[in-house]
Amino acid sequence: MRASLIDPEASKESAERRMDDFQAAVKAIAARVGATDVNAVGTPISAFKTNYSSVLRRVKSGSVEIVNQGPEPFIILGLEQAVALMSNTVSDRTVAEVFAGLPSVPASGKLPRDVSIEAVDHYRVPR
């Protein structure tokens, strides 16, 4: 049988680092939208399915909620929180850019996909 090429300890450390980064991102989002509370532990998806109204009620009252589907966490924001998140950022960025952390593209002019392939791409990481 072939030995695994992935070190389980390295994978565990990577997952822990990603969760630490996620928790830091949740705290930053909560501070940016002025959240009154943050559900840092998260609600399992099974509990969310049966008690979604209580989770959504907490979101409506100003809490940032996390729902966990297995090991994958998801952030739930309400309308006012999403609008507050947008108002605290550069005004010419789209919601998708804010959530994805992509650089903004000016509203006027050509989009990167419309320009020549030889042109500098806003989304390309320099090597």
What residues contact residue 66 under an 8 Å CB cut-off, 6+ apart?
A: 26, 39, 40, 41, 42, 43, 73, 74, 75, 76
Domains detected in the chain: 35-88 (3.40.1620)
- More reliable by pLDDT, 86 or 25: 25
76 in helix, strand or coil? strand
What pLDDT sits at residue 1? 46
Model confidence at 35, in pLDDT bands (50, 70, 90)?
confident
Q: Which of 21-35, 56-70, 112-126 has the lowest mean pLDDT?
A: 112-126
Decide: pTM greater than 0.85. Answer: no
Phi, psi of 68 (to 5 degrees): -105, 125
Token output for 70: 């297995």
Most confident stretch, 54-63, 90-99, 101-110 = 54-63
Cα 45 from Cα 65, distance rounded (Å): 12
